[in-house]
Chains A and B, each alone.
Chain A
Amino acid sequence: MQSLNVTENGIWYLRECLRAYTGACAYFMLYAAALVYVCVFGSKREKEIFIPCSVFLLVTVYNPVSPVLLDRFFDVNSEYYRFFWLLPVIVLIPYLCTKLVMSGGKTKTAAVLITAILILSGKFVYADGIKLAKNIYKMPPDLISVSEAIHADSNVEYPKAFLEYEYNMQMRQYDPKMQLTIDREDYLYVMTNDYTDEMLKDEEHPQYRLLAELIKLQDVDPDAFVDALEATKTEYVVVIKDHPRIGYLEKAGLKKVAETSEHVIYKYDVKEPYVFELVDYSVVY
């Protein structure tokens, strides 16, 4: 949970964390109800299995003070929610549902009712529709075309490219010979922040100018943009076909070298060619 911070929220961190974790799902409520059922009607064995661990979790993991204390020793801001995985929701609720279905006389009615409750209690994983993979690599076919086009054009084994967010995150899973200008942290930053003038002048991070112009659509001087391509040794810039900065790229002197079904590939002729080579470890062993 990148957006939640223990220092800012204090003992309310847990509440916010739980809220984000459960979302619109009512499974924790169902779990609490199931636990009450076990307390009242459960066998000794059922109580031994489900009650002590739930109580122990309640006073530790679900104690608002715990994240505050833990944060003094470890950075738990983004990972505390993983402790919620320990509550055996996936065991207790199905177990009691099964008992209900199997022990009553009206099996079918109970089964339908329970399935309805479960579905209404949560959010379907494929609520936005099931997207079937279009190839065995589970990659967009257009990404594969982009990779092939760049390698076909390039004279080096490891060409360097600027890609938009999704392709940037996926390209090296398919093609480890593609060097990327932008790393994950820069893209995570750009998703929620703008660049200040100071950042755009930062010579140590020339990639900010590329992201500002092509992703945030902030105005960057074309010369400064080209300087950034030069400094990062970026040879290829891949943008979606209807990208609003296509004219800008052409004006900056980039040449279109290929086009796929969804993207256009521009090439910048780096003044001082850069050839990436793997480190020679044979001198070590």
Chain B
Amino acid sequence: MLVIALGVICNFIIYLAFGSLITMPYNKKREGVKCPLLLSVVTGFFFYYFVFFFVCVPPMQYFRPLSMLTSIWVPVVASVVLLSAVFNGKLWVKWLKNALSYVRRHPAAIILLTVLLSIQIVLVSCTYNFTLDAAYYVANVATSVDTNMMNVYDPFTGAWQDHYEMRYFFATYSMQDSVVCQLTGIPALIWTKSVMAITIILLTNMVYIMIARELIVYKDGRKDSIRNPELAVVIMTGIMFVVNLTFITIYTSSLFLMTRTYEGKAIVGNLAVMTLFYLFIRMNDESINVRPWLITFIVCFGAATISSSANMLLPVELTVLFIPMIFRKKKWSMLLKYAACVVPGVVFSLVFVLYVKGYFVLYTFPK
């Protein structure tokens, strides 16, 4: 239990370090820019996988062992955390003080939220679910650690594969799990189904809380009609949980979140989709002045490295959310930024189609 708790805490510290490098003010003139702590952590999650992708793919493509990736990745993470601590240390202290002050001002809301999150943590980490896809994802982590190679052996049978599965080649999420398992000695099942499941359920709820706050505690100079907005945020987050518990068929994103939390698809279908929706609300309100499009780009690219489902899903979401907004606001310069956010998904999709149609093959051995 201690290992699981430490794993989750370490994850959040790393995400905060990565995220605040994106959300911090870069110069004194922009001292006034503000970004919520929660958004920094969520951004950090996607930025972490974005950076990992560029470190992971070259060694994998050239058949290097997992241990080589681990030995590269650990200094990268340590450097980023250190760099971020140097630049953002004061900001973190300020955020911590603000958070503590918030807890003191709204103890009832915090207690209720803690109960709500605890129930979800227990549900995703203590229940037994048989899912077919875990046979690939979790077994791939276990296989990579055991063989000290990346995506080279078939997770279903253990047999050697002569070429990489393109569907999973760019989705390096499970290789990150492998790196951590190799580094710490934590078994793949415990890391994926407990540590990552809890991490993802917490991150998703953080985005729910951010969305609820944006919708309910809306500040544009007018008084909102909702009394006790903090309680309203808790209630909305609670109802979101009820929907996730009850909007269940084998296809809904709620089912993925509640039973297959650690899978890339669940992360894309819940965390990434909702983060983009949150960013859309903020950009629609013009209430975010800290690199909103950079964060959007990182979410889109990061999600594409988590699951290939993001390649088709997020470009469509970007289009249905942002194109009407751009036209309504007549901010045509945003079109270019929107296009940049769509590019990762489109490029990955095209590469996948070319691979499937046999235009090129990535072998797992020099040919």
Contacts and interface: CB of A to CB of B under 8 A. Distances in A.
Interface of A: 1, 20-23, 25, 27, 45, 48-49, 52-53, 56-57, 60-61, 73-74, 79, 81-86, 88-91, 93-95, 97-99, 101-103, 111, 114-115, 118-119, 121-127, 130-134, 136-139, 158, 166, 168-170, 172-184, 276, 278-279, 281, 284-285
Interface in B166-215: 187-190, 193-194, 208, 211-212, 215
7 contacts: A27-B243, A98-B236, A125-B246, A132-B126, A174-B142, A179-B159, A281-B65
Interface stretch (B22-30, B45-53, B76-84, B221-229): B221-229
B254 interface: yes
B345 interface: no
A53 B193 contact: no
A102 B324 contact: no
Interface of B: 62-65, 123, 126-130, 132, 134-136, 138-139, 142-143, 145-147, 149, 152-160, 187-190, 193-194, 208, 211-212, 215-216, 218, 225-228, 231-232, 235-237, 239-240, 242-249, 251-255, 258-259, 265, 269, 273-274, 277, 280-281, 284-285, 309, 312-313, 316-317, 319-321, 323-325, 328, 349, 353, 365-366
A139 B240 contact: no
Given A20-B251, A53-B321, A281-B149, A169 B246 contact: no
A45 B285 contact: yes
Given A125-B255, A172-B139, A177-B146, 12 more contacts: A21-B252, A61-B316, A61-B320, A82-B265, A114-B239, A115-B239, A118-B246, A119-B246, A123-B246, A134-B128, A174-B142, A178-B158
Given A91-B277, A169-B130, A176 B324 contact: no
B64 to A, nearest CB: 6
Contacts of A119: 242, 246
Most buried by A among B153, B215, B321: B215
B285 A102 contact: no
Contacts, number: 252
Given A134-B128, A139-B189, A172-B135, A86 B313 contact: yes
Nearest to B234: A98
Most A C-beta atoms less than 10 A away, residue of B64, B127, B258, B323: B127
A102 B145 contact: no
Given A53-B320, A125-B255, A23 B249 contact: yes
Which of A88, A90, A103, A166 has the most C-beta atoms of chain B within 10 angstroms of its own C-beta? A90
A179 B147 CA distance: 13
Given A45-B285, A53-B324, A172-B155, A103 B146 contact: no
B146 to A, nearest CB: 4
A169 B325 contact: no
Nearest to A139: B189
B189 A86 contact: no
A56 B239 contact: no
Nearest to A127: B248
A168 B130 CA distance: 12
Given A60-B320, A86-B316, A114-B239, A52 B328 contact: yes
A284 B366 contact: yes
Contact of B309 (A23, A82, A136, A281): A82
B130 A56 contact: no
Contacts of B127: 126, 130-133
Contacts of B218: 45
A48 B255 CA distance: 29
A133 B126 contact: yes
Contacts of A61: 316, 320
Nearest to B225: A103
B274 A90 contact: yes
A166 B129 CA distance: 11
Given A52-B324, A93-B239, A172 B63 contact: no
A81 B194 contact: no
A223 B27 CA distance: 79
A176 B321 contact: no
Contact of A122 (B135, B153, B243, B265): B243
Given A125-B245, A125-B248, A173-B142, A118 B239 contact: yes
Given A21-B251, A102-B226, A125-B259, A60 B316 contact: yes
Contacts of A175: 142
